């Protein structure tokens, strides 16, 4: 006999909304949905690093140079990485929103089991 352990909604909420979107959904038993959320959030985080790279590069050029930076030229040179970063932020926002809906759904389902 294998009995399922009860799901703690607070740990699911913490994992989904504060740590890694999708992990809480996965651990709550929604394997496919949780896996997809986790994969999208991981890809989004990786793409967001592209934008951080561009921002750090812009800051380091500004610190090292005494001449003003041509921001239009800089943006044109790094346009592809900036687009990747913006897409990554969008993916992260999407997965956090999806994880919030999943958390609400799981909490609602657990609440109906208790009553």
Q: Give mean pLDDT, residues 34-45.
A: 94
Q: Give mean pLDDT, residues 49-77.
A: 84
Residue 64 within a domain: yes
Residue 60 within a domain: yes
pTM over 0.85: no
Domain extent, residue 88, equals: 21-106
Q: Give mean pLDDT, residues 81-87.
A: 92
Residue 101 within a domain: yes
Residue 112 within a domain: no
Inform me whether the pLDDT recorded for 2 exceeds 50: no
Calculate the average pLDDT of the chain. 85
Q: 79-114 vs 31-64: helix axis angle to the nearest 10?
A: 140
Q: Phi/psi zone of residue 74: left (φ > 0), alpha (ψ -120 to 50 degrees), beta?
A: alpha
Q: Please tell me the predicted confidence (pLDDT) of residue 114.
A: 52
Residue 6 within a domain: no
Residue 13 within a domain: no
* Number of residues that this document lists for the chain: 115
- 13-24 pLDDT, tens digit per residue, is 888 888 889 888
The total number of structural domains that make up the chain? 1
Residue 30 within a domain: yes
Measure CA of the first residue to CA of the last residue in the chain; give whole Å. Answer: 25
Who wins on pLDDT, 107 or 110? 107
């Amino acid at each position: 006999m294998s009995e399922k352990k009860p799901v703690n909604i607070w740990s699911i909420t913490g994992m989904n909304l504060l740590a890694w979107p999708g992990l809480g959904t996965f651990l709550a038993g929604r394997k496919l949905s949780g896996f997809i959320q986790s994969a999208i959030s991981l890809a989004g985080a990786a793409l967001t690093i592209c934008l951080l790279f561009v921002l750090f590069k812009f800051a380091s050029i500004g610190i090292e140079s005494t001449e003003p930076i041509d921001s239009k030229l800089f943006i044109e040179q790094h346009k592809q990485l900036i687009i990747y970063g913006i897409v990554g932020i969008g993916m992260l926002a999407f997965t956090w929103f999806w994880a919030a809906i999943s958390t609400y759904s799981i909490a609602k389902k657990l609440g109906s089991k208790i009553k």
